[in-house]
Structure 1
Amino acid sequence: MLPPSHIDGARLLAWAWSDLPFGHVASEAGAAPIAIHGLALCQYAGAPGVYRFSCDAQWEAVQDEVYASADEARQQLPAQYRAVAATWHRAGCSN
């Protein structure tokens, strides 16, 4: 599934999608864990860092982490998101 051009108000730089979840994030109040299908590298206007958003199947950000660069964000993917190998795409590209 293709991502939107902006996630949580930040401009999309690169993305990865998997029909099988990359992993899961614990939800609040004891609800079932949330499956992470999308990973997005984004940048807010005027901000120095790059955010890696962990997204559900509708590209809604569930978790985020800030990094110094897009390369760092890709390389430091947490173990919880390694159930499926991420194939990264530049924004505006489907392959």
Structure 2
Amino acid sequence: MTDGDVQARRRDLQAKLDQAQGVLSRIQAISDQHWSLISSSCQAMQAGAWFGPKARQFGAAVDSHQAELRSSLSEAVTSAQQKVADLRSELSGLR
């Protein structure tokens, strides 16, 4: 690679890194906003807000949805963090 090619690649990677960091920030903000979205419903169900078999089914479903939501949010944050780390690593290899 010529110096010009390296410079161009460095600029391209820096632009991608800047974009990925912005995406990571937005994903983290969304995760923070929605992490506890249905926790009050879960707590209410665990505290006995409703009784009977349907209440237990609904409570189990709410707990399951909360776990799924948190798993998805965690996965999105981790994926974005990994992308940023990969781009940083690639960029530092050019320096």
What range is the shorter-chain TM-score in?
A: under 0.3
Higher strand share: 1
State TM-score, norm by structure 1.
0.21
Larger Cα-atom Rg: 2
Higher relative contact order (CA 8 A, sep 6+): 2
Higher helix share: 2
